[in-house]
Structure 1
Amino acid sequence: MATDRDVLSDDVKPINYAISLFDLLPKAPWTYQGTVTIDLKVKNATKSIILNTHELKVHSACVSHESGKTASSIKASNISYDTKNQRCTLSLDQELPQSEKAVLEISFEGTMNSSMAGFYRSKYTPPVPASKGVAKDDEHHYMFSTQFESSDARRAFPCFDEPNLKATFDFELEIPEDLTALSNMPEKEIKKGKTAGTKIVSFDRTPIMSTYLLAWAFGDFEYVEDFTRRKYNGKTLPVRVYTTKGLKKQGMLALESAHQVVDYFSEIFRIDYPLPKVDMLAVHEFSHGAMENWGLITYRTTAILFDEYASDQKYRNRVVYVVAHELAHQWFGNLVTMDWWNELWLNEGFATWVGWYAVDYLHPDWNVWGQFVTDSMQTAFQLDSLRTSHPIEVPVRNALEVDQIFDHISYLKGSSVIRMCAAHLGVETFLKGVSEYLKAHTYGNATTNDLWSALSKASGQDVKAFMDPWILKIGFPVVTVAEEPGQISVRQSRFLTAGEVKPEEDETTWWIPLGLKTGPQATDAQREPFTTKEDTYRDIDTSFYKLNGDQTGFYRTNLPPQRLLELSKALDKLSVQDKIGLIGDAGALAVSGDGTTAGVLMFLEGFSVETNYLVWSEVLSTLGKIRTTFSDDAEISKALSKYTLKLVTAATDNVGWTFNPGDDYLKGQLRALLLQTAGLVGHEGVVAESQKRFKAFVDGDKQAIHPSLRSAVFKISIKNGGKEAYEAIKHEYITTTSIDGREITLQSLGQVQSAELAQEYLKFGFSGGVAIQDVHSVGASLANNSKTRLEVWKYIKVNWDMIHEKLSGNMVVLERFVRMCLIKNSSVDVEQDIQAFFKDKDQTGYDRGLAVVSDTIKGNARYKERDAEAIREWLKAHGYA
């Protein structure tokens, strides 16, 4: 056991839990009664048992054991709570002797809370008549489900709530007889409940697993079903998507993907899916995107439901990817679990990479690796280029610290370095090593070094040696290139957005795969990885070369300015990933001071004829960062809008408004992106057409706006339509029956142009009109808007006590709100104001988020101060100002 961890005593270890929940109260105070019987191995004689509880009331506890032929029972004479550390101590009447098996019985009371953590309730409005037994009040109906990761099983029942304290679980639940109960395993038995009109549903025993993977749910559910095509123990497996009544048809896309992915992963991991079923459940209120509970995966509705006729097409991609990601965890995380939370990246980084790998298998036409580079990699770079970043593998003292580690470093940097390693070893070799790792640690826990050992054995290379710096050190490198005829010299140093890297911050030497493409055909020029601070590569065809081919390496490249310009004239030789990488690098280097904004703007002009959605996405994301940073300088801001309009006009006019039957997924996304961008910077034709369609939509013609253009039309209409448009879209938020409608309307409402409407929107967000899981969308959408950004900060300062009280029941929700509402500022004064405001506040659970905000704003402010006059001059010289 690592000495830097604050963990439970190892005197006792759980072997099996038998949990029974009953007397569930379907109204305030929403309590339930429970018993848990835990089979224990007693390693050391003890007079107390410490386990985890949070917001539970333990009524009584006793432990029985056998000594020789004599059975005896020891009561807990005192039950005390350590609220801060979420622990409960059962002080025993007499010493519990060392034993291979003792049985601890606990009677307790819990609450089905509304915090989206532990055992909780979700409110919804059913589209069809509901069953009689559904819990409801004057406004809403309720379903019930669990969310235990990272450390909230302890909110539902007393347990040893740490990932390496694995056990098996028996579970039963008393519910109204016309509702459906689900858990990790198939239903074992249904019998009559103690109360009239109820039934007790019990489930088969689970395999050995961590507490955070246990799950159950009940409600007015229906399902769609399919079966795997492969056979497992001689039978195909049932795969189901469960929803509350009236929504099951929207589970078909997820269902169609899931059975294929289960079979695909069983093949590439060379281990059959280990459970007898796959259930997936749409949950109406959900703090995360989804949760990989073994055999009962839970999802936010927009991550699993999709309407072929009414959903924005971008959600098609989201559903397929999230389903693949969560199914990957059934092996990587569930079958083999990280030993402790510091290695969370093992679960999340791998599931992210292999999730995209599966989507690429299902939909090769989606160019998912281009999407990965523009979304995942660039987002990881952004966080990891801050001084306040952290290594992929980060020390976690206790489980209560871990929620803030579920971030872009664990998921996106983790998956990026996995992709880099897989590309270097060869994907087949890499997956063979993964298979050996899974087989060696099945039903157990493992460490990062265990994975490296398996990959080293499969590849014959010392994987630990070259991967350790990527996992254990903070940050990533920028490779700076100098040219001479026939050769290039390269130098690696740590990249920081703020620039001015200090010597003590630049001590890591990374192993860097060069991925060099050269010559007229941009062919792969095999070179050894770059493993020193500086090196020279000779025999290079410098008429054309590109480092980091297809952006498989997690590093930025700083090319000579003239080379960047030449590459912008040779875009036909570059892959989609190459183009995205060059754009992202150029934009980031301008921020750090290693490049210039004028250079970026000149480079981006070469993309006006681009036709690929993913490349345009990166062009406009990079341009958006520049526009956000300089948005409070009216002259520069106006000129950048003019520049953006000129850049996108030809492509926007070309792509048009009409979705043709032959259009592929990416073309539809390009149309939505270009129309939104053009309309928001004042393209007269797009604004006029948007307002025309919006009026028809509001007047009752719901076909007037294509589902994938709602976001564009709503945002453009609100920006140009004032209070009337705001009220119309707020009404759409309240009344929409579309699964994605609420997310789309919330993001659109942030385009209001006045302080009064911004404050009104924030009040609406916190009045109960917006679900807690979505409140961050209210603040973030206003923070993305230069006209209303400061209104969000004003609102937070005035209403902090209320905000903290509403959101702190789930610290993931609070941290996300604070970070997303404040991070777009670029003023030193605002940063100092934020620091001063939070100085005397308890920052538990969101301190990392505040540090990221502070570091980002400081970097933005330095960038703005350094480049403002140069960008102003360039824009004037080129006719934009």
Structure 2
Amino acid sequence: MDFKVLLMVIAIFAVGEGSSKSQVSRGNILPRDEPSFRLPFNTLPLHYDLSLTTDIHRGDFDFSGVVRIKFVAFIDTSQITLHYRQLSINNIDLFDDSDPPELLESNLEFTLDPEYEFIRIVTSPGLNENQNYTVSLSYNGTLREDNYGFYRTFYKNELGETVWVASTHFQQIDARHAFPCYDEPQFRTTYSIDIRHDASYFALSNMPVESEVLEDETNYVTTRFEMTPLMQTYFVAFVVSDYASIENNATLRQRVFARAAAIERGEGNFALEVGEVILDAYEEYLGVPYNLPKLDQVAVSDFDWGGLWGGLCIYREDNLLFNETITTTRQRENILRLISHEYLHKWFGNLVSPLWWSYIWLNEGFAALYERLLTSAVYPEHRFMDLFVIYAIQGMLETDADPNIRPMTFYIERPEEILQIFDNVAYAKAGGVLQMLRVAIGPSTFTKGISNYLELMAELSAIPEDLYASIQFAVNEDYPVDPPNVGVIMNSWEFQSGFPLITVTREGNRLVFTQSRFYYGNETSDELWWVPINYVVASNPDFTESLPDLWMDQQPTVILNSANATKPWTQNDWIVVNIQETFYYRVNYEEDLWNLLINQLNGNDSNVIHLLNRAQLIDDSLNIARAGMISYEIPFAILEYLQREVDYVPWSAANRGLTLLNRWLEGTSAYPNYQSFVRRIVEPLFIEYGMEVIANEPELNRYARSLAINLACESGIESCLSGTSQRLVDLVENGVFIAPDLQKCEHQNIFPKGL
């Protein structure tokens, strides 16, 4: 047995034998004591040989297939269990491992279990332990309409004709719709794929084309692809279309495929350029090369999101194609970020994959972080890490206050649960917690640990403990004296829901830090975390050093004396905790400390406090007031400083809270006073940016302009209302073009008013 296969076998059995309800658990998650949706693990796949036939070119949505799965029997058994979904099974044969294979049994008996989506194949007399076999299944299916599995999509060509395309979307558990398989993430095998299709179309898959054979007396071609490296079922992908393409001239072949008209207009050029830059950046940063011979990106009309399926990345058109006349700045940013996100999955998801769906945050948390962290290194003008704080961190802190929110690692196995676990916890929270760990141990140490992880676990399935051990090795090297225990720290975040509120009080020459789980309601909890604490004081306003000044080691209270602190303070000093909001928690202060911060922000130089901490103070104060822990006088006093703030980041933090307050107050007697307040603070921003897009201006200026227009019109600033109305008149009467970045503002601020 191959060494990689052996390691996979060990990992599979260590996580718990699903059908036998083993209570052995690798990773502290236990299979449920009920009928299992997990495969029984009595056999293990070694290789798939998949042949498909489609007539998508003529709008025929039926397809046929034959899959030959080489597998090994772990134990003496008479049953093979595979996944299927919406397939009609025609015939099943069993072969031995000889060369050429010898037929052992034809037309095997089988039963279908649609609830559990199992094909249970019965063999006679049975399978012998440690013996290899091949099972061959012929079947038929129908291309789906819901953008999952092997599905159909279409576009209208320049003549207005409908052109059909066959595409795939197998993540999470939809490979079973294209071919019967072991459709679980811990199984890795090689694949040999061929697709029979009309010669007017061509086929793409994960690997380069090995051969194209035109049939005699027909117009059909069979495209066969090179064998893949070890992959999971959900990384398999193929597209059958008549698309056009562009490609690069680099050593690694990269191409972008889309409708011919879109390619001719140059709408794929941006994606091709970004793909090259991002891939180079990942290889350099991670120290692990991309190991496939090509990388294709495909834009289809219908797709839920992007996905890198080992050499073939499929996106919905508006997530890949860029047209300067219609694409907004926000869409351009999303294209860049999504390409970065999906490319990252070649390492976190394909090279190393989670042992089970419960650990999907090992994929998506890294992708959520690195899509901004590494992209910001090569495209600094986008300020992606500033946006990470206000979108991912601050947005998730609001969601994560729900008392019913799940923890990062949470056992699931039912199909609907697997779909649901791809949520904000797996993406934004996991990304935020990983960023916190990265900053807490130092970026270089973290990167070294990640490289250890990718090298050690290459082509294997991982659990969080594997990640922690790899990072711990780097920590021990870089911090030989009293190194922090990565596993202990991370377990407090991995298995507990929610996050802490750190409350800071000053008692003479002492700072007292208290932690408790943050809720908006009256719920209580005894949960405690390992919390890194860093801070800045007014007499030494250095916001660049983010390493922890102390740790709260799952203690409810920690006291720091000024005499022993590396950053001593005076009684007149304001104090900011959580430098640049790099750690995943909220901070509350006693009233005197809040007032010192308010005085600084509303004084002559609010910029002394870092941009991200200005955004943090706005976001934390609004949400802590929402929870009833402080008076709304505090966040409103902080918001007053925005009259002198022109950067988008603090305004974005404010806008989230103001949107909620507007919804609460609209229609009440307090609403006119609230609108007056908003008019006062937003009018300088509205004047600063005006109502016209400026060529080549920073992207965040365009976001700030849109935000200012929305708040100005919503609060009743007359020049905003008249300006948006006039722009609509100019469009209707004179055909004056409205810039893409302003079209949403125009719609939002005109049509609700009945104009």
- TM-score, with length taken from structure 1: 0.77
Superposed displacement of residue 66, structure 1: 4.8
Superposed displacement of residue 530, structure 1: 2.1
Distance across 1 between alignment mates of 2:141 and 2:550: 59
Superposed displacement of residue 26, structure 1: 5.3
Summarize the alignment of residues 325-364 of structure 1 with structure 2, pairs less than 5 Å apart: 325-364=341-380
Partner residue of 2:210?
188
Q: Tell me, yes or no, if structure 1 residue 224 matches structure 2 residue 240.
A: no
Superposed displacement of residue 28, structure 1: 7.0
Distance across 2 between alignment mates of 1:453 and 1:194: 58
Aligned 8 A contact 2:203 2:223 in 1 = yes
Distance across 2 between alignment mates of 1:195 and 1:635: 81
Distance across 1 between alignment mates of 2:373 and 2:396: 18
Partner residue of 2:4?
none
Distance across 1 between alignment mates of 2:382 and 2:231: 35
Partner residue of 1:596?
631
Partner residue of 1:413?
429
Listed one character per residue, the Cα deviations across residues 206-233 of structure 1 (whole Å, up to 9, x for unaligned) are: 11010011000121212222255xxxxx
Give 1:52's aligned amino acid: H
Distance across 1 between alignment mates of 2:361 and 2:394: 18
1:541 paired residue among 542, 564, 569: 569
1:21 paired residue among 52, 60, 84: 52
Listed one character per residue, the Cα deviations across residues 576-609 of structure 1 (whole Å, up to 9, x for unaligned) are: 2111111111111112111233332222121122
Partner residue of 1:654?
688
In structure 2, list runs of 5 or more residues that go unmatched: 1-14, 17-21, 23-29, 477-482, 563-567
Query: Which stretch has the larger CA shift, 188-197 or 644-653?
Result: 188-197
2:539 paired residue among 500, 517, 520: 520
Aligned 8 A contact 1:56 1:108 in 2 = yes
Q: Tell me, yes or no, if structure 1 residue 243 matches structure 2 residue 276.
A: no
Summarize the alignment of residues 171-210 of structure 1 with structure 2, pairs less than 5 Å apart: 171-193=193-215, 196-210=218-232
Partner residue of 1:676?
710
Aligned 8 A contact 2:643 2:684 in 1 = yes
1:560 paired residue among 585, 590, 609: 590
Summarize the alignment of residues 623-772 of structure 1 with structure 2, pairs less than 5 Å apart: 623-631=658-666, 633-699=667-733, 701=735, 703-722=736-755
Give 2:625's aligned amino acid: A
Pick closer, same or farther for the CA change 1:80–1:659 going to 2, 3 Å: same
Distance across 1 between alignment mates of 2:531 and 2:426: 20
Partner residue of 2:191?
169
Superposed displacement of residue 700, structure 1: 6.4
Distance across 2 between alignment mates of 1:558 and 1:122: 51
Q: Tell me, yes or no, if structure 1 residue 510 matches structure 2 residue 529.
A: yes
Superposed displacement of residue 472, structure 1: 1.2
Q: Tell me, yes or no, if structure 1 residue 464 matches structure 2 residue 483.
A: no
Distance across 2 between alignment mates of 1:660 and 1:290: 31
1:82 paired residue among 101, 110, 113: 113
Aligned 8 A contact 2:500 2:516 in 1 = yes
Partner residue of 1:322?
338
Pick closer, same or farther for the CA change 1:221–1:635 going to 2, 3 Å: same
Distance across 2 between alignment mates of 1:344 and 1:519: 42
Give 2:749's aligned amino acid: I
In structure 1, list runs of 5 or more residues that go unmatched: 131-135, 229-235, 723-881
Summarize the alignment of residues 4-83 of structure 1 with structure 2, pairs less than 5 Å apart: 4-5=30-31, 6=36, 7-24=38-55, 30-66=61-97, 71-83=102-114
Q: Tell me, yes or no, if structure 1 residue 494 matches structure 2 residue 517.
A: yes
Distance across 1 between alignment mates of 2:39 and 2:719: 65
Q: Tell me, yes or no, if structure 1 residue 550 matches structure 2 residue 580.
A: yes
Distance across 2 between alignment mates of 1:638 and 1:171: 66
Listed one character per residue, the Cα deviations across residues 608-638 of structure 1 (whole Å, up to 9, x for unaligned) are: 221101211111111112222344x432344
Superposed displacement of residue 92, structure 1: 2.6
Query: Which stretch has the larger CA shift, 684-693 or 208-217?
Result: 684-693
SS in 2 for 1:513: strand
Listed one character per residue, the Cα deviations across residues 666-716 of structure 1 (whole Å, up to 9, x for unaligned) are: 112211221122123322212222122223323462x53111101101211
Partner residue of 1:582?
617
SS in 1 for 2:145: coil
Superposed displacement of residue 509, structure 1: 2.1
Distance across 2 between alignment mates of 1:239 and 1:674: 40
Pick closer, same or farther for the CA change 1:673–1:316 going to 2, 3 Å: same
Give 1:469's aligned amino acid: S
Partner residue of 2:7?
none
Pick closer, same or farther for the CA change 1:69–1:178 going to 2, 3 Å: closer
Q: Give percent identity, aligned residues only.
A: 25
Give 1:552's aligned amino acid: T
Pick closer, same or farther for the CA change 1:378–1:102 going to 2, 3 Å: same
Partner residue of 1:106?
137
2:276 paired residue among 238, 249, 259: 259
Pick closer, same or farther for the CA change 1:142–1:699 going to 2, 3 Å: farther
Distance across 2 between alignment mates of 1:699 and 1:46: 78
SS in 2 for 1:409: helix
Partner residue of 2:25?
none
Distance across 2 between alignment mates of 1:142 and 1:369: 40
SS in 2 for 1:107: strand
Distance across 2 between alignment mates of 1:319 and 1:559: 40
Give 1:613's aligned amino acid: Y
Superposed displacement of residue 40, structure 1: 1.0
2:313 paired residue among 294, 297, 300: 297
Superposed displacement of residue 399, structure 1: 4.6
Distance across 2 between alignment mates of 1:716 and 1:371: 25
Give 1:89's aligned amino acid: R
Listed one character per residue, the Cα deviations across residues 357-392 of structure 1 (whole Å, up to 9, x for unaligned) are: 111111223222221111001221122111110111
Partner residue of 2:503?
480
Aligned 8 A contact 1:193 1:199 in 2 = yes
Distance across 1 between alignment mates of 2:195 and 2:216: 11
SS in 2 for 1:250: coil
Aligned 8 A contact 2:47 2:69 in 1 = yes
Partner residue of 1:149?
171
Distance across 1 between alignment mates of 2:249 and 2:612: 36
Superposed displacement of residue 194, structure 1: 7.3
Distance across 2 between alignment mates of 1:494 and 1:529: 17
SS in 2 for 1:311: coil
Distance across 1 between alignment mates of 2:337 and 2:67: 37
Give 1:550's aligned amino acid: Q
More helix by share: 1
SS in 1 for 2:375: helix
Pick closer, same or farther for the CA change 1:34–1:580 going to 2, 3 Å: same
Distance across 1 between alignment mates of 2:588 and 2:423: 27
Aligned 8 A contact 1:434 1:454 in 2 = yes
Superposed displacement of residue 108, structure 1: 0.4
Distance across 2 between alignment mates of 1:563 and 1:187: 66
- TM-score, with length taken from structure 2: 0.89
Distance across 1 between alignment mates of 2:673 and 2:194: 65
Root-mean-square deviation (CA, aligned residues, Å) is 2.1
Distance across 2 between alignment mates of 1:100 and 1:17: 17
Give 1:713's aligned amino acid: E
Superposed displacement of residue 193, structure 1: 4.2
Superposed displacement of residue 63, structure 1: 0.9
Aligned 8 A contact 1:349 1:415 in 2 = yes
Query: Which stretch has the larger CA shift, 53-62 or 177-186?
Result: 177-186
Listed one character per residue, the Cα deviations across residues 21-60 of structure 1 (whole Å, up to 9, x for unaligned) are: 1143556771111111111112222222110001111111
Q: Tell me, yes or no, if structure 1 residue 453 matches structure 2 residue 469.
A: yes
Superposed displacement of residue 561, structure 1: 3.1
Distance across 1 between alignment mates of 2:92 and 2:694: 67
